[in-house]
Chain A
């Protein structure tokens, strides 16, 4: 009897020590991960010329820190106006992408999950097939196509090629196959049309899927660089990532705006993440389990 309690005590002691080590390990990992952003944040309180001369490193000396970069960023001068133009463009592009993508992908996934018809499986196979080709391979022909279609330098040109994103369709379809089909028949008996059922009955109960996907799409659109960089030519249409990238020259004196603007640019995504963390993770990992 006494022996087994001793053993249990030993186990719980061992468990506690292991627990301290495991938690400490994640604390170290978290510090390493946060390190670059923290260094960037500290640098944003110092003149940009220091960054060019010294590179980025942790410097905790508070006496050399000023709010000058942020004051400059919000001063309303030419640089500041340019920055907030990029910011607005990014917000606009994000809003258009999210609304467009969600509506289109919801409709398509609805068609792929709520009915039985001959071509259904074949169409779904095509959705999966599009995932097998990396987007980067299509940038050249798409770029040429956008020129032909006169969509270069337009938001439509940026948004349209990705509007029916396979992974978003996949997620919606996954979610909707789990919904009760009896609702469709109930709606039909009540005299609703097929489209009425889609938008008035089924859409409200798909809300959680919308929440997860809207956040994921928004983050993707906010951070997207390569394709918008090719489509937008006019500097007045640049989004935040494209604009910040133009500041990355060794000669410019724009590192003030670059570093403060980068830090301020993370802020919106960060706030959304803190509020909707659950949906972020749900949306992101949805494809992984079923594979």
Chain B
């Protein structure tokens, strides 16, 4: 009776409400995180595990395949940052202006790819980047007089295919992020800029860009993470985790190869942790550079 009364009290109730989070945090976050850190120092066998110290990490440093994976993930991430931040931002500004008619329809069209599963979009792009002259991309390049390519067999075109798939899927989504950021800007600021004689470019440069900075930082953060952790897109384009000369191998792809396919959980864990450290470092640098921490102190 006493316990029941306590559980129903205003003091205990909030803790009861957050129990699911605490459980999920312990079982599905802290525990796996600690377990992957421990495993990264071990050789995990079916029955017993052997302590290796830093051997997995030392091996990673010398592993040329891992270097390829890191380079690929970085190139992909940088590509998405270049393509999927400025352009969606410009599209959002344009769509937010009075110039464009039928806004809702264009928004819906551009959002459409985000509805498709990566399996379906990956399949469509895999078939469009077919090396046969009848594949869509080859039809386009031959029409432009550039000849045909074996898209998914060369490094540059393979990366291009991945980036095009990414642009197709995320341009609309990022544009909507920027649109919602633009909505929060006070229109009076544009009016006063106009009174001061600012032209369209100046309004964009000195009003829009500084004021949608929180949105830009958000998009930048998720793009860095999603870019570095990309795997399924490459898995679908090459119909599996293997690609010719590893041109489509990403960090998570290599983690999957080693950890799941070859069942080497120790080495796979080390790969994952290197990725985590890279992602955290980049994000912290990015947040400091953008002055996010300073703003919170205010």
The answer to whether A112 and B265 have CB atoms under 8 Å apart is no
Query: A277 CB to closest chain B CB, in angstroms?
Result: 6
The answer to whether A108 and B18 have CB atoms under 8 Å apart is yes
The answer to whether B255 and A140 have CB atoms under 8 Å apart is yes
* B58 at interface by CB-CB < 8 Å: no
* B29 at interface by CB-CB < 8 Å: yes
A266→B17 CA distance, assembly (Å):
37
The answer to whether A108 and B109 have CB atoms under 8 Å apart is no
* B161 at interface by CB-CB < 8 Å: no
A71→B217 CA distance, assembly (Å):
49
* B136 at interface by CB-CB < 8 Å: yes
With known contacts A56-B136, A130-B29, A23–B111 Cβ distance under 8 A: no
Say which one of B63-71, B112-120, B186-194, B202-210 lies at the interface with A: B112-120
Residue in A34, A56, A117, A160 whose CB lies within 8 Å of B109: A34
Question: For residue A115, which residue of chain B has the nearest CB?
Answer: B14
Chain B residue numbers with a CB within 8 Å of A226 are 231-232
The answer to whether B180 and A141 have CB atoms under 8 Å apart is no
* A155 at interface by CB-CB < 8 Å: no
The answer to whether B259 and A223 have CB atoms under 8 Å apart is no
Query: B1 CB to closest chain A CB, in angstroms?
Result: 15
* A134 at interface by CB-CB < 8 Å: yes
* A233 at interface by CB-CB < 8 Å: no
A160→B168 CA distance, assembly (Å):
31
Chain A residues 66-88 with CB under 8 Å of chain B are none
Question: For residue B22, which residue of chain A has the nearest CB?
Answer: A123
The answer to whether B132 and A54 have CB atoms under 8 Å apart is yes
Chain B residue numbers with a CB within 8 Å of A58 are 136
Question: For residue A269, which residue of chain B has the nearest CB?
Answer: B115
Chain A residue numbers with a CB within 8 Å of B8 are 193-195
A225→B235 CA distance, assembly (Å):
11
> What is the interface size of chain A, counting residues whose CB is below 8 A from a CB of the partner?
96
A18→B228 CA distance, assembly (Å):
39
The answer to whether A241 and B107 have CB atoms under 8 Å apart is no
A288→B218 CA distance, assembly (Å):
6
* B78 at interface by CB-CB < 8 Å: no
The answer to whether A57 and B28 have CB atoms under 8 Å apart is no
Candidate in B13, B120, B136, B255 with the most chain A CB atoms within 10 angstroms = B120
The 0/1 profile, CB within 8 Å of B marked 1, for residues 77-113 of chain A is: 0000000000000000000000000001001101110
The answer to whether B219 and A288 have CB atoms under 8 Å apart is yes
With known contacts A39-B128, A163-B24, A29–B99 Cβ distance under 8 A: no
The prevalent SS among residues of B at the interface is helix
Residue in B13, B113, B180, B265 whose CB lies within 8 Å of A144: B265
The answer to whether B136 and A108 have CB atoms under 8 Å apart is no
A228→B109 CA distance, assembly (Å):
29
Chain B residues 234-290 with CB under 8 Å of chain A are 236, 239, 252, 255-256, 259-260, 265, 268-269, 272-273, 275-276, 279-280, 283
The answer to whether B32 and A142 have CB atoms under 8 Å apart is yes
* B127 at interface by CB-CB < 8 Å: yes
* A249 at interface by CB-CB < 8 Å: yes
* B146 at interface by CB-CB < 8 Å: no
The answer to whether A111 and B18 have CB atoms under 8 Å apart is yes
Query: A31 CB to closest chain B CB, in angstroms?
Result: 9
Chain A residue numbers with a CB within 8 Å of B112 are 33-34, 37, 270, 273
Chain A residue numbers with a CB within 8 Å of B236 are 245, 248
The answer to whether B39 and A141 have CB atoms under 8 Å apart is yes
Residue in A164, A225, A274 whose CB lies within 8 Å of B24: A164
The answer to whether B94 and A141 have CB atoms under 8 Å apart is no
Chain A residue numbers with a CB within 8 Å of B218 are 287-288, 291
The answer to whether A266 and B115 have CB atoms under 8 Å apart is yes
Residue in A40, A164, A258, A262 whose CB lies within 8 Å of B20: A164
* B173 at interface by CB-CB < 8 Å: yes
Candidate in A137, A222, A277 with the most chain B CB atoms within 10 angstroms = A137
* A289 at interface by CB-CB < 8 Å: yes
A213→B98 CA distance, assembly (Å):
31
Chain A residue numbers with a CB within 8 Å of B27 are 145
* A175 at interface by CB-CB < 8 Å: no
Chain B residue numbers with a CB within 8 Å of A274 are 108
The answer to whether B214 and A194 have CB atoms under 8 Å apart is no
Give 9 new A-B contacts, CB below 8 A, not counting A117-B14, A136-B275.
Answer: A19-B98, A26-B91, A37-B124, A115-B13, A120-B14, A141-B31, A142-B32, A273-B108, A273-B112
> 5 closest pairs, A vs B, by CB?
A55-B130, A111-B17, A55-B135, A56-B127, A141-B32
Could you name 15 residue pairs across A and B whose Cβ atoms are closer than 8 Å? Answer: A15-B99, A26-B91, A33-B172, A55-B127, A55-B128, A57-B134, A130-B29, A134-B225, A134-B276, A137-B255, A138-B33, A144-B39, A223-B115, A262-B120, A285-B179
